[in-house]
Amino acid sequence: MIVKPRPAAAKATSPAASEAAILAMPTLARTFPSRAGRIALPALVVAACAALMPASGALAQASTPAAAPAAAGARDFAAERKAIGDSRAWTNYRFAAAERECYSKFFVTRCIDQAKEIQRGELHVLRTRELEVGEAERAHRAAERDREQALRRAEFEASQPKRAASEQSSRQAFDKKQQEQQLRDAQRQGEAPQRAANAQAYQQKQSDFDARMKEAQQKGAEQAQQRQENVKAYEAKQRELEQRQKELEERRAKAKEQQSPASAPRPFGF
């Protein structure tokens, strides 16, 4: 039975120890046990791991609370999650490189199992860190909500006297308007008899005006009828005068005709 060795990162019990183990893991990926002891990886893999180790250290440091923007007084949770994602990608990349290298060894299965164990330990640390960042972010948001609620409550309580004064002023203005309306109503009620008398006098005046208007219309109609009758009488008199003038002229003409034969002089005496 082959007993698989447990890497130091898998035994870490605190976040600091786990992160320290992750930083140390790139060196473990350089060599793996074999029949001859420790066989070095090809120079290309070693060079790639060495080139990426500073970036891995920076990502691990960025994933810690100390890497948060302390000057700003708040943690950059997005940057921490990105650092964790980059560290997870780096772990998977190193496992793939180690797995490819294991196929050139004698104990292939044992080599791959060791690489998987290292990968699981690192992913477990990153997952723990990810959960801690999520919990811290939720706590931060809850604290922000509580702080905003406290600020709103303080602002509400601070503005309470002003609102009370405004409400008191509004209530007084409303009461004043109500009193003024009641005074106007009382005045209107007191002036009701006078208004009724004025309305009655106006109605009487209007009735008198209507009566005079009707009388004037009737008188005008009578005068118009009288004028028509006068015109008719004048025309009748004119016709009668013309008739008498005509008769007179006819009588004169007839009389002249009757006098003409007897009175006319005879030049020869017969």
In a domain, 20, yes or no: yes
Residue-wise burial string across 248-261, b where 16 or more C-beta atoms lie within 10 A, e elsewhere: eeeeeeeeeeeeee
Question: Which residue reads 């009388």 in tokens?
Answer: 215
Over pLDDT 90: what percentage of the chain? 36
In a domain, 166, yes or no: no
> Phi and psi of 7, rounded to 5°?
-70, 160
Which structural domain, as residue segments, surrounds residue 102? 8-158
SS (H, E, C) 254-268: HHHHHHHHHHCCCCC
In a domain, 163, yes or no: no
Question: Which DSSP symbol is given to 6?
Answer: P
In a domain, 198, yes or no: no
How do residues 129-138 score in pLDDT, each as one tens digit?
999 999 999 9
Looking at residue 80, its amino acid is: E
In a domain, 176, yes or no: no
How do residues 236-264 score in pLDDT, each as one tens digit?
999 999 998 988 888 888 888 887 655 55
Helices and strands (H and E) in the chain: how many: 6, 2
In a domain, 235, yes or no: no
In a domain, 210, yes or no: no
Q: What's this model's pTM, rounded to 2 decimal places?
A: 0.39
Count of domains forming the chain = 1
pLDDT-based confidence at residue 195 (cuts at 50, 70, 90): confident
In a domain, 208, yes or no: no
